[in-house]
């Protein structure tokens, strides 16, 4: 381990841009949540969030817990609830 380099790269250093993207995402999600599409099928007030980097771009996901599958226009990714 004596011969290694630590290089600083420009990826993900635009913190103002990342924060704006995240803010815009949550504004859009909140509007959709308020417009009965998601609110009527949610079984509780919990909101699940995932932030990840894919191909040098930040991606944001949010979701709710439902008893049934969400309508196509309301969902992008489906997570199934396990019965316990």
The CA distance from 6 to 47, in Å, is 37
Contact 33, 74 (CB under 8 A): no
Which pTM was predicted?
Answer: 0.56
pLDDT score, position 3: 83
- Per-run averaged pLDDT (10 residues), the chain, 84 residues: 75 77 87 71 86 82 82 63 56
């Amino acid at each position: 381990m004596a011969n290694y380099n630590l290089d600083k790269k420009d990826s993900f250093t635009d913190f103002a841009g990342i924060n704006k993207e995240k803010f815009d995402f949550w504004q859009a999600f909140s509007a959709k949540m308020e417009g009965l599409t998601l609110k009527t099928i949610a079984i509780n007030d919990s909101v699940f969030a995932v932030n990840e980097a894919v191909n040098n771009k930040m991606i944001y996901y949010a979701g709710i817990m439902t008893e049934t599958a969400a309508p196509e226009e309301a969902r992008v990714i489906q997570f199934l609830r396990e019965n316990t």
